[in-house]
Chain A
Amino acid sequence: MVTNLEQLPPGRNAVVVALGGGRGMVNRLEAMGVRPGKQVRKVSTQFMAGPITVLVNGRQLAMGRGIARRIQVDAGG
């Protein structure tokens, strides 16, 4: 099931399929470990359109929802 990181429920694992957004943002995400093929785990979602946190390579990243929305992931099943 392909969805995006914003929609992925907390506690679920998924594999990154594609990154959207400008070249600069894609570069930064890749450099921070979010790349196609990478396994990510959604940790939490803050209320009131707050940021989400994910676990990549055993490290926690926080990102705004707009960024998370542009990251396509495959949640399996």
Chain B
Amino acid sequence: MAGSGKSGGGERQMRVLLMGNPNVGKSAVFSRLTGAHVIASNYPGTTVSFTEGHMRCDGRACRVIDVPGTYSLQPDSRAEEVAVEMLDKGDVIINVVDATNLERNLNLTLQLLKRRLPMVVALNMWDEALEHGVRIDTDALSERLGVPVVTTCAISGVGMKDLQRSLADARAGSLEFDDADRWTLVGEIVEQVQRIEHQHPTVGQELSHATVHPVLGPLIAVVVLAVSFDVVRLVGEGLIGHVMDPLFERLWRPVVVWISGLLGAEGILHTLLIGELVEGRIEFGESFGLLTTGFYIPLAAVLPYVFAFYFVLGILEDSGYLPRLGVLVDNVMHRLGLHGLTVVPMLMGLGCNVPGALALRVLETRKERFIAATLLSVCVPCMAQLAMLAGLIGRHGVLAFAPVLGSLFVLWVVLGTTMKRFVKGLTPEILLDIPPYRFPYWGALAKKLLMRMRGFLREAVPYVLLGVLVVNLLYVLGIIHWAGVVLSPVVEHWLGLPAEAAGALLIGFMRKDVAVGMLAPLNLSLRQLIVAGVVLTAYFPCVATFVVLLRELGVRDMVKAAAIMVVAAFATGGLLNLILVGVGL
């Protein structure tokens, strides 16, 4: 393959396949090789469909394909089918191997060798292997397999240059063996090339056992989640109070006041750009102009919480805690027709429902995907919406949040157990590799955080601006008033909200944060805020999530899911209103 002498041009680009077991760091290798930004985390299945990028090798441009992780090439699951299909299209394989777990990884390596494609083995997580006393004779391994072997630590970038250079020496392996003897051969090779020095249990292993202990584990989980929640709240509140609010007040206010003056403080253009003055003053949260509320919602009210949330989620992901949480909640999740690891998409959904919905692809059966998608859209509020609610409900104290989250949780359990009974299909049992605990690598964590923030800004700013614009147009055209009249039996009498709140339900389909923002000028009571918060979360996903779910579930299932959402939301909202009135709120 090397030295073909011809340069790029019309010739087909060489395709490099990154293949290996789940959670060996393929995505980290991929982003190092290509400079492309992809999410890597410490749990299996981060990459659900293949990702493509470009790099230069041997002075030529070539394509790098990050194939989902597989344990073998026997097509037992969808991920494996994808991997086998990709093999037919590849020219060179980089087999990424977890050096701390050579034996298990070699099983796939040997199967790949049989395909007779030029190959290079990257012994990844080399630093961790050394730390654990694992010594591997790479020369002996290379000789045995008949392909180049390089050591790498993709997360810090060590060895990546060597890996790139080694591609020029990639060759088809020379090892001959019968498939039935594969495991014997794996054992033989491991015996020959690997030595394990001191293997006393590390702090990580002790901690690992404690966090899945049936009694200690749940206690630790409660503490971890409570601390996470508090950190998100404190960081979010802190950034708003000490950074974003002062920035808007000191730097942006003079600008919008000046513009407001130029426009003569009234007129259609003033309404669109600046919005309504509240007692003669611009209120960033309530005026509802493009330049005021339109910028304030995504940048000042929501971004700090999104930052805080993804910072904490990144630590939980990269440390390896999430699979353990998955094991702990597996028994509960099975009662809802799901298995434990579904807790990961649900947590991601708390940041934004879109990545949560995309992550549902790892689920194997239609039943699981349907239940999980419905529960995600009904019961998991996104950070944008929570941040806005925090601004409104937070005035009544942190505890005022409990009825909102509590109702959504109860709804989650009730809806899940019901769907488990009525949705046909199977929920497979959990079978999960629990990765060792790792100290998050700060560089990688910061990069992931930055990518997610950029993603949020790219999605949120235009949609929020559009949302604010649409709100104003709907007001001007009288559609919000009309919706209030038409929906008043439901909104006023059943949910106990003012008729104007109907407008928020319309806009919630565009952006939930803008919808909550529309409640700000209505001066709702705590009871009304709680009911509105729950109904706005549950009744329908925002358009971005809706599009993803439609693609993942198909039209027929999406219609069913949507019907469940609407019924569940209004039933819960009405009951909640009755209960809250009953307790005198």
Contact = CB atoms under 8 A, between A and B. Distances in A.
Interface of A: 24-25, 27-33, 35, 43-51, 53, 57-67
B104 interface: yes
Contact of B72 (A27, A57, A60): A27
Contacts of A60: 208, 212, 433-434, 436
Given A45-B214, A46-B330, A57 B323 contact: no
B209 A43 contact: yes
Nearest to B187: A37
Contacts of A53: 212, 327, 434
Interface in B409-432: 429-432
B199 A50 contact: no
A25 B104 CA distance: 16
A51 B326 CA distance: 10
Contacts of A63: 429-432
Nearest to B432: A62
Given A32-B104, A35-B183, A49-B331, A62 B72 contact: no
B431 A28 contact: yes
Interface residues of B, number: 37
Interface of B: 21, 71-72, 74, 76-77, 101, 103-104, 107-108, 132, 183, 199, 208-209, 212-214, 217, 323, 326-328, 330-332, 334, 339-340, 429-434, 436
A33 B389 CA distance: 48
B72 to A, nearest CB: 5
A64 B431 contact: yes
A36 to B, nearest CB: 9
Given A48-B331, A59-B434, A67 B429 contact: yes
A47 B212 CA distance: 11
B117 to A, nearest CB: 20
A73 B21 CA distance: 26
Contacts of A30: 107, 183
B104 to A, nearest CB: 5
A62 to B, nearest CB: 4
Nearest to B71: A31
Nearest to B183: A35
Contact of A62 (B103, B104, B209, B212): B212
A20 to B, nearest CB: 14
Contacts of B183: 30, 35
B338 to A, nearest CB: 13
22 contacts: A28-B71, A28-B77, A31-B21, A31-B108, A32-B431, A43-B212, A44-B213, A44-B217, A47-B214, A51-B430, A57-B101, A59-B101, A59-B104, A59-B436, A60-B212, A60-B433, A60-B434, A60-B436, A61-B432, A63-B431, A64-B429, A67-B429
A24 B217 CA distance: 31
A29 B334 CA distance: 21
Nearest to A59: B101
B265 to A, nearest CB: 63
A32 B334 CA distance: 23
B511 to A, nearest CB: 38
Nearest to B213: A44
Given A27-B76, A46-B327, A50-B327, 15 more contacts: A28-B71, A28-B72, A29-B431, A31-B71, A32-B104, A44-B213, A44-B217, A45-B214, A46-B330, A48-B332, A50-B214, A51-B330, A61-B431, A62-B212, A62-B432
